[in-house]
Amino acid sequence: MCKSIDVAVAMLNKSIDYAFEYNEPKYYMDYVKLHKLLYLGQCYILSRYGLRLFEEDITAHNCGPYVDGIGTIPANYGFGVIKEKIQGDNSKGIIYLPLTFSRDETVNEILKEFGMCTTDEVVRITKETIPFKGKEGMFDNHPSISKEQLIEAGKDLFVQK
């Protein structure tokens, strides 16, 4: 099973590639936007293919969905906009593996649809999903968002378009 750090690195590196390729700095992301795009990716692949993008949990926080397992990114790159690609040489202690085809395509789809959104826009989009709204009033306890709830959000966001 894929780890969230694997997907996070792929998403960050692709966003940097897209920013350069399309000369569009909106593709760059910060740590908060990364969490939200990973959440959207998990919703997408579960609702489309019944596969998990990564195995770690997603919990609901006041600021939106939070993905476990990617804490080494701000430890090495900070919380601001990340413009430096993460290398596979483990120079900063981040170990990751390449994605399978379906996971790689999911990252591409999420970046295509939401990659140029601002952090605030992506936060708003994720906080408006049905499962997240269902956690209102419980954010202090950081409740988990279940697989079934992620599928529901994915169907609402992607399948019914």
pLDDT in tens, 33-42: 999 999 999 9
Task: Report the distance separating Cα 97 and Cα 9, nearest Å.
Answer: 9
Angle between helix axes 147-154 and 31-49 (nearest 10 degrees) is 90
User: pLDDT digits over 48-62, tens only?
Assistant: 999 999 999 999 999
This prediction's pTM: 0.95
Helix (H) or strand (E) holding 59: strand 58-61
In what helix (H) or strand (E) does residue 65 lie, and over which residues does it extend?
A: strand 64-67
